[in-house]
């Protein structure tokens, strides 16, 4: 439903050209949560703002439900933007308005009758859990509550798409969790397509179905979140994953593992779903006489799937180890040799 084709955005300021987005190609399906992850300056905000034409792309095409955005006049664009809600890192609430007035504002702009506005505002405040705050001003609210008001406001015109610009970056971890739960809830209840940008893999892992990784203006990798964890193709992705699985092996341990004579390998075994690892390792011992030791292990939930990773140290005859690795791969484990520590 959202299609970006060869989208580029170049800024020019005082003779300096910055290519913020370079040739981006993305298709976002209706009802999914799509994340864009990248470090500061990667071009995420520029890309997101191109979707609703807050930034006009320098070149390329953006289509929403088959409508070419560059073909819309000002009025059509305004109507289209009503179908695209947006929330921001710093909430962007009207400080002089109450919670009620903030949520009602887009409905008033759209000239919705007062009675309908009232019913809608109450429904939205209930959805975001702020029924008792309608008379409060933004300054009287916590960060999490402000973001809830912003979400209610973004949903006022029943958008089909919600764009989230680092929506949880200013929040503490616990509040982040509750806002992500709310976004997930909204996505399921209303089947709203959500596009979010973040620099935190945790956010991607918790709620996104698919992800694009941005580096220096380019999309360097995209696909399902689980595939990204299972089989990252770029160093940028690997670094982001390391933020979730801090599996750097201490040098002190590596030097202890370096033994004499036998082949000594460090393997990373990744698995998805219910592949239970323990019997697999026990079978490896029973079948091949190999006795790997577990150096590191982690298991986590990626949206509705289970993803696990083990780092194993294995010693023995190289041919037997190779047979053992083949056996592990047959059990649906992804095996990578991280280091030959011989």
Ligand X SMILES: Nc1ncnc2c1ncn2[C@@H]1O[C@H](COP(=O)(O)OP(=O)(O)OP(=O)(O)O)[C@@H](O)[C@H]1O
The site for ligand X (CB under 6 A) is made up of 11, 13, 18, 20, 38, 40-46, 199
Left if phi > 0, otherwise alpha if psi is -120 to 50, otherwise beta: which for 173? alpha
Of 46 and 147, nearer to ligand X (C-beta) is 46
For the bound state, the minimum distance from the C-beta of residue 127 to ligand X, rounded and expressed in Å, comes to 28
SS3 (DSSP) at 13: strand
Of 51 and 125, nearer to ligand X (C-beta) is 51
Query: By C-alpha distance, which of 222, 202, 206 is closest to 214?
Result: 222
Of 15 and 261, nearer to ligand X (C-beta) is 15
First-residue to last-residue Cα distance in the chain: 52
CB atoms within 10 A of CB 330: 9
Of 43 and 308, nearer to ligand X (C-beta) is 43
Q: What is the CA radius of gyration of the chain?
A: 24
For the bound state, the minimum distance from the C-beta of residue 160 to ligand X, rounded and expressed in Å, comes to 24
How far is 332 from 276, CA to CA, in rounded Å?
Answer: 10
Of 208 and 310, nearer to ligand X (C-beta) is 208
195, two tokens: 């596009």
Of 214 and 341, nearer to ligand X (C-beta) is 214
In sequence order, what are the residues at sequence separation of 6 or more whose Cβ sits closer than 8 angstroms to the Cβ of residue 231? Answer: 334
For the bound state, the minimum distance from the C-beta of residue 208 to ligand X, rounded and expressed in Å, comes to 17
- φ, ψ for residue 15, nearest 5 deg: 80, 0
Query: What is the dihedral sign for C-alpha 152, 154, 160, 161?
Result: negative
What is the helix (H) or strand (E) element at residue 309, kind and residue range? strand 305-316
- The residues with which 222 forms a beta bridge, in sequence order, are 212
For the bound state, the minimum distance from the C-beta of residue 176 to ligand X, rounded and expressed in Å, comes to 16
For the bound state, the minimum distance from the C-beta of residue 40 to ligand X, rounded and expressed in Å, comes to 3
For the bound state, the minimum distance from the C-beta of residue 224 to ligand X, rounded and expressed in Å, comes to 22
For the bound state, the minimum distance from the C-beta of residue 82 to ligand X, rounded and expressed in Å, comes to 24
Left if phi > 0, otherwise alpha if psi is -120 to 50, otherwise beta: which for 49? alpha
Of 46 and 145, nearer to ligand X (C-beta) is 46
For the bound state, the minimum distance from the C-beta of residue 69 to ligand X, rounded and expressed in Å, comes to 18
- What letter does residue 133 receive in the DSSP assignment? G
CA 273 centroid distance within chain: 20
Of 217 and 308, nearer to ligand X (C-beta) is 217
For the bound state, the minimum distance from the C-beta of residue 244 to ligand X, rounded and expressed in Å, comes to 19
C-beta of residue 217 within 8 angstroms of C-beta of residue 57: no
Of 41 and 223, nearer to ligand X (C-beta) is 41
Burial of 183 per CB tally in 10 Å (0-12, 13-18, 19+): buried
In sequence order, what are the residues at sequence separation of 6 or more whose Cβ sits closer than 8 angstroms to the Cβ of residue 317? Answer: 262, 263
SS3 (DSSP) at 44: helix
């Amino acid at each position: 439903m959202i299609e970006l084709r060869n989208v580029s955005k170049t800024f020019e300021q005082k003779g300096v050209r910055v290519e913020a987005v370079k040739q981006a190609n993305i298709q976002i399906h209706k009802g999914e949560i799509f994340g864009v992850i990248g470090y500061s300056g990667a071009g995420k905000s520029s890309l997101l703002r191109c979707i609703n034409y807050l930034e006009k792309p320098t070149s390329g095409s953006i289509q929403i439900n088959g409508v070419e955005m560059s073909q819309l006049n000002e009025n059509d664009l305004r109507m289209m933007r009503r179908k695209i809600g947006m929330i921001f890192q710093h909430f962007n609430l009207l400080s002089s308005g109450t919670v009620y007035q903030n949520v009602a504002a887009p409905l008033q702009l759209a000239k919705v009758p007062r009675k309908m506005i009232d019913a809608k505002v109450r429904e939205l405040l209930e959805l975001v859990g702020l029924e008792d705050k309608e008379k409060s001003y933004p300054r009287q609210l916590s960060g999490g509550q402000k973001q809830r008001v912003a979400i209610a406001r973004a949903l006022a015109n029943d958008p089909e798409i919600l764009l989230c610009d680092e929506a949880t970056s200013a929040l503490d971890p616990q509040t982040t969790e509750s806002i992500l739960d709310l976004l997930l809830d909204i996505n399921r209840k209303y089947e709203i397509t959500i596009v979010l940008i973040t620099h935190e893999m945790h956010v991607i892992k918790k709620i996104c179905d698919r992800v694009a990784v941005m580096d220096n203006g380019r999309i360097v990798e995209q696909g399902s979140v689980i595939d990204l964890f299972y089989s990252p193709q770029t160093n940028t992705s690997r670094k982001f994953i390391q933020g979730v699985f801090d599996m750097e092996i201490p040098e002190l341990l590596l030097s202890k593992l370096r033994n004499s004579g036998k082949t000594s390998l460090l393997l990373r075994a990744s698995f998805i779903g219910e592949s239970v690892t323990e019997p697999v390792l026990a079978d490896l011992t029973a079948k091949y006489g190999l006795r790997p030791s577990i150096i590191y292990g982690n298991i986590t939930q990626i949206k509705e799937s289970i993803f696990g990773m083990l780092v194993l140290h294995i010693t023995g005859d190289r041919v037997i180890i190779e047979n053992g690795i083949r056996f592990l791969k047959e059990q649906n484990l992804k095996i990578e040799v991280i280091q030959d520590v011989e």
